[in-house]
Chains A and B, each alone.
Chain A
Amino acid sequence: MNYLKAISLLVIAVVLTANFILSHIWPSLYLNVHYEEYFDSIVTCAKAKASFREAKNAPSDLDPYFKHRLLLTSQVELANCHEQEVLRAQLLANGVEEVDLKIVELKALETGEVPLKSFVENYGM
């Protein structure tokens, strides 16, 4: 009986510990490991968006083939935003809270030499 009790307590302890690890320690550890990567990806994506906007609004007197190629390079650059989305999804899947990601995103926009238009685009400008 004592043996069963001990086993039960151990199982409960393992489950609680695992739960604690998975819901608190693991996400925090995971975010820490990928913090810089995520931070950089936000800055890169914001810059890519700015670059795309510029290419799209390039002066009309430019050679159309040149404009087309310029736009194509900007589209390729935008693939960085996909990379950011992949990272974001992975972070969420590993238990990182949305609010924690938002903090990283805001910090990145504040300190990552992001162009003004990208910085304010979320505010409907």
Chain B
Amino acid sequence: MKRFAVKITALTLFCIFPSFFSLAISNDFLLKKIITAYNLRPLPIKPFEKTNEFLLGQALFYDPILSGNRDVSCATCHLFRHGTSDALQFSIGVGGMGLGKNRKIQDGEIEHPRNSLDLWNRDNNSVKSLFWDGRVEMLDPKGRIFRSPLGDLLPTGMQNTLAVQALFPLVVPDEMLGEVGDHSSSKLPQIHANLPNELASKTAHLTGPERIRAVHTLLMERLLGLKTEELADWQIKYRRLFQAAFPKKPIKKTTIADLGNAIAHFEEVAFETRNTPWDYYLSGDNSAISDDAKYGAILFYGKGKCAACHSGPLFSDFEFHSLAVKQGGPGIAMSGEDLGRYHVTKVKKDKYKFRTPPLRNVTLTAPYFHDGVAKTLREVIDHHIDPLYLADKYDETGAHALNVDQINSVSYALERGGSLSEQEITAVLEFLQALEDPQLDMIEHIIPKSVPSGLQISKY
């Protein structure tokens, strides 16, 4: 009898065990409601096609011939294996040696004062602005009117913001242009060695948009040999590539807009996240992400308030917000602080605001923030939870770590100060991991074996 009772009790406890210990509603149930409320959809998968425009853009993206001293290409600071960023706090353009974390600056050169942004999914319609301060912007929903540092001198025929953006690293001295008096290295292939930096020197008397336009004109002359009588082999190759990509356009009419459009087209096709676990989950595969990631998503779209700014298919509103990030480095104006969006608009309320960075593949693009001061995503989340933790502290010089404008500028979503537990932070990190698709299986199709100029390419 006693044995029987024990057995019955054990059986009863076993039957009620699940309901005894678990009452919570399922993450999937809530997440589906969130997906509907936010109207979330998987990113459309676009075909990977190596068109003639892709091949031209690929050559231009990886060819250091576009830089004043023929030593830096777009790929130098947008390395595939580093999630199209460069793993450095500040990018090192002209005069640098090595790649990625091993890239070192040479004596006399300066780092670019901002962290390199990634290039994933920038063809998406939600992309309204580019650069940390949004200096390149789309002003109409159809993408035909742009604001850029070129002002009214922006050439016609630009296809999108990404194409406009591609024109500007070319003209920044510490990125690709270099300085007056520079020469290309003697170690380059003979045809490119010890040549003066004509892009910088011939335009030195100009400033602002006029100089930008002049550099662009000289660059097209260099690439296509427009002012030379005898074309080099590599220039002939570029002429062929441009003709194949834009067959209706005579070479003499080719402009910097075509170069920008080709680079943008390559970036659109090459740097596309196609297989993230989150997109699979949005497609209906409930097992695509872990339970922790689901919980992280609920926090991301709810309690964490991340989605107030990190919204849309790329997890950015492409608007400008201040997080009161402590300035590392000299800032874009070399003044010791970086006023962000203010440098573009000159509107006081824009001080210290930076464009919300998209989050697809964010796990691959450390360090973070405009000045790369956060080494890990954990640091980034900690900063978001308490953006004003430095408000009552002093820096190494004895000055207040944050000034009044910086304190007052903090985004409304953050200033009320939420809190996430350790477990919740871990879950959010897990969710961010579900946004990763490094596309490493595409590497052979994306990084070319060589470029027309014969210069060494950034294969990393």
Residue numbers of A with Cβ under 8 A of B are 30, 33-34, 37, 48, 51, 54, 58-59, 62-63, 65-66, 69-70, 72-77, 79-80, 82-83, 86-87, 90
Contacts and interface: CB of A to CB of B under 8 A. Distances in A.
Contacts of A54: 416
Interface string B184-201: 000000000000000000
A66 B33 contact: no
A62 B64 CA distance: 44
Interface stretch (B20-28, B54-62, B104-112, B381-389): B20-28
B413 A70 contact: yes
Interface of B: 20-21, 23-25, 30, 33-34, 37-38, 298, 301-309, 311, 317, 319, 412-413, 416, 418
A48 B298 CA distance: 13
Contacts of A77: 302-303
B34 A66 contact: no
B298 A76 contact: yes
A104 to B, nearest CB: 14
Contact of A70 (B24, B34, B412): B412
Contacts of B23: 34, 37, 86-87, 90
Nearest to B413: A70
A83 to B, nearest CB: 6
Contacts of B416: 51, 54
A79 B317 contact: no
Contacts of A62: 412
Contacts of A74: 302, 305
A76 B20 contact: no
Given A66-B319, A69-B311, A82 B25 contact: yes
Question: Which secondary structure characterizes the binding site on chain A?
Answer: helix
Nearest to B20: A33
A76 B412 contact: no
A72 B303 contact: no
17 contacts: A30-B20, A34-B23, A37-B24, A51-B418, A54-B416, A59-B412, A63-B319, A66-B308, A66-B413, A70-B308, A70-B413, A72-B38, A73-B305, A73-B306, A74-B305, A76-B298, A83-B24
From A48, A65, A76, A80, residue with most partner B Cβ within 10 Å: A76
Nearest to B305: A73
Given A30-B20, A76-B298, A83 B25 contact: yes
Given A33-B20, A54-B416, A87-B23, A66 B37 contact: no
B34 A69 contact: no
B276 to A, nearest CB: 21
Contacts of B34: 76
Contacts of B25: 82-83, 86
Contacts of B306: 73
B36 to A, nearest CB: 11
Contact of A79 (B21, B33, B311, B319): B33
A70 B305 contact: yes
Given A69-B317, A73-B302, 13 more contacts: A33-B21, A34-B23, A54-B416, A58-B412, A59-B412, A69-B311, A72-B307, A76-B30, A76-B302, A76-B303, A77-B302, A79-B298, A86-B25
5 nearest A-B residue pairs (beta carbon): A76-B302, A77-B302, A70-B308, A73-B305, A77-B303
A70 B23 CA distance: 29
Contact of A76 (B301, B309, B311, B418): B301
A66 B307 CA distance: 10
Given A69-B317, A83-B25, A86-B25, A48 B303 contact: yes
A3 B217 CA distance: 111
A66 B317 contact: yes
